[in-house]
Chains A and B, each alone.
Chain A
Amino acid sequence: MKFLRKYSKNYFFLLPFFLLFGVFFLWPIVFGIGASFTKWNGVHTPSFIGIDNYAGLIQSPSFTKGMHNLFLYILIAIPLGVFIALIIALLVNQFKGFWHQFFRAAFFMPFVIPLFLAAAIWRWMLTPEFGIVNVIIKSLGGPDIKWLTNPTAMLFAVLIVDMWRAAGFNMVILLAGIKAIPSEYHEAAKVDGASTIQQIFYITLPLLEPVIFLVVVNAFISIIQMFDVPWLLSRADYNTQGGPQQGMLFPVMDMLGTAFGKQRYGEASTYAVVLLGLALLITVIQFAIRRLYAKR
């Protein structure tokens, strides 16, 4: 009783948050995992079918295609994204005073344009033949690229929009990391006659490793839930997603089609569990690597 009286006010103030958190976050996770083992059309009561959904998913061509696109995209987007953000961060760090503030603000700007709008704007700019991007490419003597219908080019259309928006965001995180490096290191290097490039390779980059790591993990998690851009670029709806040959199909899009198009909620829940597993796996690997570094 005494215990309750002492802490009841603390728990009472936590209640609104955890009530909402429980209803709209914890329960959905538990329920989703449960539903992944059932056959369920969203109307009738779910019936338990064991791991049939998981077996079915692995055999589904659209699941394979979505995962294939996802991994291919990760393979290209993460190294490229980190590289570009790093270049920009190092570049902004070279400027001082007004221009430093100006470039930091300007490069971050694309990130405040919402994903749906970035996708819509770029889809218009990537119009074949008359879109401004292709007009520029053609005026430089390049081919007319069918960004939105050529199955190979499509993934790069997603990449362009994503890189355009994310580069500034990652740059700000990396730049904060660069600034946190004690200036004595650079001063000492300067005294020893190290050039800017040498300082970057021997001081900045090694000390920045944990922050680069954070950016990579962030990128993984955000690519797993890639949705808005490919959905809008491929003009998807609940019945068809991903454009010609499903070149832009990402797992979350397929999951939505499975649930709201085919009314197969059980299978869609399985999808969610697989994605959750992927996200957890990445988090666990992150912690493992962190610990490994800490030991050294």
Chain B
Amino acid sequence: MNILSHGSAKRSTFSRILRNMLNLEVIVRWVLAIFFLVIAIFPIYWLFNVVFSPPGTAVAITPRLFPTSFSDGMVKIQQILAKGPFLKATMTSFVYAYFQIAGMLLVTSLAAYEFSLFDFPGKNVLFTLALTGMMVPLAVTIIPMFRVVVALKWVNTMAGLAVPGMASALSLFIIKQLMEDIPRELIEAAEIDGASHFRIYWNIVLPQSINALLTVSILTFVYVWGSFLWPLIVSNKPDGYTISVLVASLSGTTAYTPIDQLVAAYFLAAIPPVLVYIFLQRFIVDSVARSGIKG
């Protein structure tokens, strides 16, 4: 900005805006961004669009771009909900997520408490051992894991679904990192005041770690809602289907469900994780971003 001539400054601001609008870099930037945006959002939009359109538009040679009928969508949703298994599977998935999150919070926060705030022999070895859990793909251990569940007589039970995933190395890691920020003087002061090991955990450390606990709960919810391989193996009776196994079986070769209802089922199954994402986006994206800075 030129201090000497105010008049020409105004004109040059205007021409700068004009130049900016025609700036090739800016145009390319927006064109690319909108291009990728369409690809990222389209399948989700298309699902919404087809559900809220008259029946028979799920596959059509001349598709409509915008939803036309709210009531038709509600009819499809009622039809899929009227089929008992869908509601049952939704409930199963919520209960599965609830138990896995509750158990995971307890065991990982206890372990994170020790790893982050205390020193004891074998600490590093044990922590490194726990971290191998993040590096070994689940698929590698799944068959012997299933045999363990068989031996415990947990096949087709909620325990069989939820318990094996509770000792999550990723959750342990995230909680431990945040607990490390709690000043050790605080712990020592409480110890001198005679607070027990458990009291310090429960009354001092846990309240300070709410953010970490919330983050791992949200991540676990999204993970459990989407988990497919483990429920497919361990919960193999229709009565115990999770939402993932049910959707797979509805769209499989043996079951016949009209495409309009199928699309409504996909739409409903997408709602919980999308809602969680819209309202709690920061927790999910930040925890992913942090893994990048660490690397």
Chain B interface main SS type: helix
1/0 per residue B94-125: CB within 8 Å of A?
A: 00000000000011101101100010110000
Measured between C-beta atoms, what is the minimum distance from A176 to chain B in Å? Answer: 4
Cross-interface CB contact of B33 among A95, A173, A221, A225, cutoff 8 Å? A95
Nearest chain-A residue to B60 (Cβ)? Answer: A130
B274 touches A112 (CB 8 A): yes
Contact segment of B2-10, B67-75, B76-84, B159-167: B159-167
Query: Is A114 positioned at the interface, with any CB of B under 8 Å from its CB?
Result: yes
B259 touches A124 (CB 8 A): yes
A114 touches B251 (CB 8 A): no
B143 touches A17 (CB 8 A): no
B136 touches A29 (CB 8 A): yes
Chain B interfacial residues counted at CB < 8 A: 87
A23 to B279, CA, bound (A): 36
Q: Quick one: given A24-B164, A164-B40, are A124 and B58 in contact (CB under 8 Å)?
A: yes
A259 to B142, CA, bound (A): 11
Cross-interface CB contact of B59 among A11, A130, A168, cutoff 8 Å? A130
A173 touches B292 (CB 8 A): yes
**CB within 8 Å of B: which A23-72 residues:** 23-29, 31-32, 35, 42
Residue from B108, B139, B248, B284 whose CB has the most chain A CB atoms within 10 Å: B139
Cross-interface CB contact of A110 among B40, B145, B172, B228, cutoff 8 Å? B40
Nearest chain-B residue to A9 (Cβ)? Answer: B197
Residues of chain A within 8 A (CB-CB) of B128 are none
Measured between C-beta atoms, what is the minimum distance from A267 to chain B in Å? Answer: 10
A116 touches B137 (CB 8 A): no
1/0 per residue A101-118: CB within 8 Å of B?
A: 001111111101111111
Q: Quick one: given A214-B292, A279-B135, are A31 and B147 in contact (CB under 8 Å)?
A: yes
Q: Quick one: given A17-B107, A91-B29, are A32 and B292 in contact (CB under 8 Å)?
A: no
A112 to B61, CA, bound (A): 30
Cross-interface CB contact of A24 among B43, B63, B139, B148, cutoff 8 Å? B148
Chain A interface main SS type: helix
A121 touches B277 (CB 8 A): no
Query: Is B253 positioned at the interface, with any CB of A under 8 Å from its CB?
Result: yes
Cross-interface CB contact of B143 among A32, A173, A214, A283, cutoff 8 Å? A32
Residues of chain B within 8 A (CB-CB) of A121 are 43, 47, 266
A221 to B135, CA, bound (A): 8
Q: Quick one: given A176-B292, A269-B143, are A221 and B247 in contact (CB under 8 Å)?
A: no
1/0 per residue A80-109: CB within 8 Å of B?
A: 000000011001101100010001111111
A135 touches B166 (CB 8 A): no
A172 touches B58 (CB 8 A): no
Query: Is B207 positioned at the interface, with any CB of A under 8 Å from its CB?
Result: no
Cross-interface CB contact of A164 among B43, B47, B145, B266, cutoff 8 Å? B43
B139 touches A105 (CB 8 A): no
B141 touches A105 (CB 8 A): no
A107 touches B37 (CB 8 A): yes
B226 touches A114 (CB 8 A): yes
Residues of chain A within 8 A (CB-CB) of B130 are 17-18, 21
Cross-interface CB contact of B144 among A17, A29, A175, cutoff 8 Å? A29
1/0 per residue A172-185: CB within 8 Å of B?
A: 11111100100000
A32 to B143, CA, bound (A): 8
Nearest chain-A residue to B123 (Cβ)? Answer: A10
B197 touches A110 (CB 8 A): no
B140 touches A29 (CB 8 A): yes
Q: Quick one: given A120-B251, A164-B39, are A7 and B147 in contact (CB under 8 Å)?
A: no
B226 touches A116 (CB 8 A): yes
Nearest chain-A residue to B49 (Cβ)? Answer: A132
Residues of chain A within 8 A (CB-CB) of B290 are 176
A215 to B186, CA, bound (A): 38
Query: Is A147 positioned at the interface, with any CB of B under 8 Å from its CB?
Result: no
A275 to B137, CA, bound (A): 9
Residues of chain A within 8 A (CB-CB) of B108 are 17
B295 touches A173 (CB 8 A): yes
A169 to B289, CA, bound (A): 9
B288 touches A172 (CB 8 A): yes
Residues of chain B within 8 A (CB-CB) of A131 are 59
Nearest chain-B residue to A161 (Cβ)? Answer: B43
The 6 A-B residue pairs with the shortest CB-CB distance in the complex, in nearest-first order:
A114-B226, A214-B295, A173-B292, A28-B144, A130-B59, A176-B292
Known: A124-B58, A272-B143. 6 other contacts (CB 8 A): A14-B126, A16-B106, A24-B163, A108-B285, A125-B43, A279-B137
- 6 A-B pairs (CB sep. < 8 Å): A18-B111, A31-B147, A105-B285, A114-B227, A127-B59, A269-B143
Interface residues, chain A, with chain B CB atoms under 8 Å away: 7, 9-11, 13-14, 16-18, 20-21, 23-29, 31-32, 35, 42, 87-88, 91-92, 94-95, 99, 103-110, 112-118, 120-125, 127, 129-132, 135, 164, 167-169, 172-177, 180, 196, 210-211, 213-214, 221, 224-225, 227-228, 231-232, 235, 237, 252, 255-256, 259-260, 265, 268-269, 272-273, 275-276, 279, 283
